[in-house]
Structure formats: structure tokens, C-alpha cells
């Protein structure tokens, strides 16, 4: 079996950004000159790289939408009809109260353990059987049987 050569991170980032904006797998594949079935597997094969860009772009999309909504609500505050002004003011206050709460609460963190495990798994998958066997032998020699098993959480 041939060894998988990861695509450049810039291609993964481009694909993730396009997907985060709602592009189809076919359009994403065409944009990065890869088959749609290939790029469809990238989130699973390269989770750290994919998640980094996808989350950033998705959060930017949400921020852009919120900004546009605030512009519209502020325009509605100037409407001559009182019911629109009241509704807009209510929505703006509701948005601001959520923003204040979010500023006080810690945000979701990227689980660094998952990222490290994904990177280790990718490294192990890229090793030949011979290199993998040597790596295991070195670990056994360095840590001993029980110490190695205890340290690995097995």
C-alpha cells in the first residue's frame, strides 16, 4: 500500500474555509484541484488542521452575520412605526446581554489532548512496519514493561 502524503496545510485550510462558508464538497474539491471524495475525508484525516481553519472561518461568519443584524436593527430604531423601534431595541438589548454573559464566561477550548493524539496517530500511520517495530522496542527498553504500560494508561 502506498503511503499517504498529506496535502499542504494551505490546501486543507482553503478547503476548510470553503466548507465553513457552505460550499459543496464538489466545489471545494474543484477549488483545491482534488476530487470531492478526497476532500470529504480531510476532516477525519487531518482533524487539527481542518478544525483550526473551519472554526476560525465559522466564527467569522457568525460575527459578520451579527454585525449585519445590528446594522439592520439600528436602522429599525429610527423607523417611524413604534412597534418596529420597540422590537429592534428589545433585540439589541437581548444581544448585548448575551454578549456580556459570554465575555464573563470562559469560551470553549480546543482539547489539546485530542490534537496531540491525532498528530501521534498520523505519525504512527505514516511509519513503516519496521520503523514502528523499532519505536516500540525503544519504548520497551527505555521504560520497561510495567512502567511503559502504566505510563501509557493501558
In a domain, 25, yes or no: yes
In a domain, 75, yes or no: yes
Query: How many whole angstroms separate alpha carbon 27 and alpha carbon 23?
Result: 6
- Are 143 and 80 in the same domain? no
In a domain, 2, yes or no: no
In a domain, 27, yes or no: yes
| Bigger pLDDT: 45 vs 141 | 45
Contacts of 28 (CB under 8 A, 6+ apart): 15, 18, 19, 36, 39
Query: How many whole angstroms separate alpha carbon 80 and alpha carbon 91?
Result: 17
- pLDDT by residue (tens digit) across 39-66? 999 999 999 889 988 888 888 888 888 8
In a domain, 120, yes or no: yes
Q: What is the pLDDT of residue 71?
A: 81
Distances (CA, A) of 108 to 82, 89, 98, 115: 39, 29, 16, 15
Entry pTM: 0.51
Distances (CA, A) of 53 to 90, 107, 121: 34, 17, 20
- pLDDT by residue (tens digit) across 82-139? 777 777 777 777 777 766 666 666 655 656 666 666 666 667 667 677 776 676 666 6
What's the chain's Rg over C-alpha atoms? 24
**What is the DSSP-derived secondary structure letter of residue 35?**
-
Domain carrying residue 70: 9-104
Largest CA distance in the chain: 80
Amino acid at each position: 500500500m502506498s503511503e499517504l502524503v498529506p496535502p499542504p496545510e494551505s490546501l486543507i485550510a482553503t478547503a476548510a474555509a470553503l466548507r465553513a462558508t457552505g460550499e459543496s464538497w464538489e466545489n471545494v474539491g474543484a477549488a483545491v484541484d482534488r476530487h470531492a471524495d478526497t476532500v470529504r475525508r480531510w476532516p477525519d484525516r487531518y482533524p487539527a488542521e481542518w478544525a483550526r481553519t473551519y472554526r476560525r472561518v465559522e466564527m467569522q461568519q457568525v460575527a459578520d452575520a451579527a454585525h449585519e443584524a445590528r446594522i439592520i436593527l439600528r436602522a429599525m430604531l429610527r423607523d417611524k412605526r413604534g412597534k418596529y423601534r420597540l422590537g429592534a431595541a428589545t433585540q439589541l438589548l437581548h444581544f448585548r446581554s448575551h454578549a456580556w454573559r459570554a465575555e464573563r464566561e470562559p469560551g470553549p477550548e480546543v482539547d489539546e489532548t485530542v490534537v496531540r493524539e491525532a498528530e501521534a496517530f498520523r505519525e504512527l500511520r505514516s511509519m513503516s512496519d519496521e520503523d514502528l517495530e523499532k519505536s516500540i522496542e525503544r519504548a520497551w527498553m527505555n521504560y520497561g514493561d510495567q512502567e511503559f504500560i502504566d505510563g501509557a494508561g493501558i
